[in-house]
Amino acid sequence: MSNSHLLTILLAVPFIGSVVVMLLPRHRPLLAKQVALIFALVTFALTVAVALKFDNGAAGFQFTEKYSWISYFGVSYSLGVDGIALVLIALAAILVPVVMISGWHDADDARGSVNGYFALILVLETMMIGVFAATDVFLFYVFFEAMLVPMYFLIGRYGGPQRSYAAVKFLLYSLLGGLLMLVALISLYVVSIKQLGTGTFDFTTLTTQLHLDAGTQKLLFLGFFTAFAVKAPMWPVHTWLPDAAAEATPASAVLLVGVLDKVGTFGMLRYCLPLFPQASHYFTPAILVLSIIGIGYGALLAIGQADIKRLIAYTSISHFGFIVLGIFAMTSQGQAGATLYMVNHGFSTGALFIIAGFMISRRGSRLVSDFGGVQKVAPVLAGTFLLAGLSSLALPGLSSFVSEFLVLVGTFSRYKAAGVAATLGIVLAAIYILYLYQRTMTGPVREGIERWKDLNVREILAVAPLLVLVVALGIFPQTALRTIDPAIVQTMQSIGVSDPPPVVNLGSGSSNGGTNP
């Protein structure tokens, strides 16, 4: 297998799988599920192959391939991965088979067909891989917008009672952000014609040969950043997320919050910073303020939620505040921590949504008040929920602790006030997770729960890989950081910043650099 075509094969497998699943007879839903899972597992195996061939010590894109697509506009089919893209592709490749297993019966009694449900998940996987692997900005935009379609139908056809409202709200917010990005993208293309003599969307060419004045950078930055902020979602353009996550099936919610929303923060790190370095510095103070507000706002609203799925969605708004904070801290620790945070959040929050889905399917209700005493009748379910929750609140020894610690250290080293303010989110996280566990898992067994069965083999197989990764990345975070770090170093160089020098106090009169004149 040629390394130069690995990414195209990785894109093609789930797409081909979606076509095959749709062509299978609809009266054999079990066959459709099995075939879809096989294609998802093959995609995961190919991702492992890419990871094993990836050179952790090399900077820049690997497994690159480039073919002219729309030559008149300088658009190319151009793919490549660095460490940042690779770990996010791996996140998608792990979560897709997991959500298929966890949502094995989600579409059995739904409005749409079982074939359609699992085919849409495979199409979505294709788009998710493509958006992280694209190295042509126009190709990235195509994947960025196209991924809305399968998610729209996953929510609108297979979701809860308010699915139509939630799906339309999700689509309108995303399309509005995408429209602003399209305007900025066209403007970037026009500038490339003026400066280079020919229009291009090639990411490397744009970052190394294009020279934008400060005013132009600010305008284009706002177009890209707004689209990414909506996708992330950041406060105050976050309001679509609680509705979409609550009405989607638990499996779809995992992909929505665990992977799709990461496209926003990935875009900030991949495109906003290298393409518009001056504008990034200019807007950093405002973005840090928005991030801190999001951390506190999401956590506070999570504490007061009555709907368990909306509660988890609001915790994600708080987590995304940490991720954006780390990106715009402009330090290698902050950006490496933010990238690792994207991965860890996908695993921990994905596990929470999956386990919440198991609880909702048993109880027939999403209300927190309808649960209680679960640990007495389903101890394995309660234990897995606790482990996922402890990871979400960044307990030391679990994966989220390392990423959150790096974000806070990286922020504090350059922006002390922002770092101190963000630490309050840790306290709030402990409140909303432990309070949720107390209300649902402890106390007297509520009526309707006493006959619950504990997790079955299928459910354990769905959640176990995520919990294993939560523990493994908490103990051995360097496994992922070795892959991420070279790409972060290159990003820092592209925006012309370096880590602040350490401050060493050697005496009462020394405060900077550790020496006195």
Summarize pLDDT for 482-499 with one digit per residue, the tens.
Answer: 999 999 998 888 888 887
- Look at residue 505 in the predicted model and tell me its pLDDT: 52
What distance in Å separates the CA atoms of residue 142 and residue 6, rounded to the nearest whole number? 20
- Look at residue 3 in the predicted model and tell me its pLDDT: 57
- Look at residue 514 in the predicted model and tell me its pLDDT: 37
> Would you state the structure tokens that stand for residue 10, as one six-digit string?
């990785």
- Whether the link from the prior residue into 233 is cis, omega within 30° of 0, is yes
Stretches where the chain sits below pLDDT 50 are 1-2, 506-517
Residue ranges of E strands in 265-324: none
Q: Which residues of 91-113 are buried (b: 16+ CB within 10 A; e: fewer)?
A: bbbbbbbbbbbbbbebbeebeeb
- Look at residue 270 in the predicted model and tell me its pLDDT: 92
Give Rg (Cα) of the chain: 23
Triad 313, 97, 317: Cα angle to 5°: 15
Write out the H or E segment, with its range, that includes residue 36: helix 29-53
- Look at residue 1 in the predicted model and tell me its pLDDT: 42
Write out the H or E segment, with its range, that includes residue 363: helix 332-363
- Residue whose C-alpha is closest to residue 480's, from 144, 88, 9, 46: 88
Q: Please enumerate in sequence order all residues whose Cβ is within 8 A of that of 505, keeping only pairs 6 or more positions apart, or say none.
A: 511, 514
**Cα separations (Å) of 11 from 46, 131, 154, 165, 245?**
10, 10, 20, 31, 26
Helix, strand, coil percentages (3-state) for the chain, rounded to 5, are 75, 5, 25
**Cα separations (Å) of 161 from 158, 239, 246, 353?**
10, 18, 10, 18
> Would you state the structure tokens that stand for residue 509, as one six-digit string?
């009169």
DSSP 370-406: G---HHHH-HHHHHHHHHHHHHHTT-TTSHHHHHHHH
- Look at residue 499 in the predicted model and tell me its pLDDT: 79
Neighbours of 186 (CB within 10 A): 14
- 3-class SS at 445? coil
- Look at residue 463 in the predicted model and tell me its pLDDT: 93
Q: Which residues of 248-265 are buried (b: 16+ CB within 10 A; e: fewer)?
A: bbbbbbbbbbbbbbbbbb
CB 258 within 8 A of CB 241: no
CB 49 within 8 A of CB 3: no
Q: Which residue has the tokens 């880590």?
A: 499
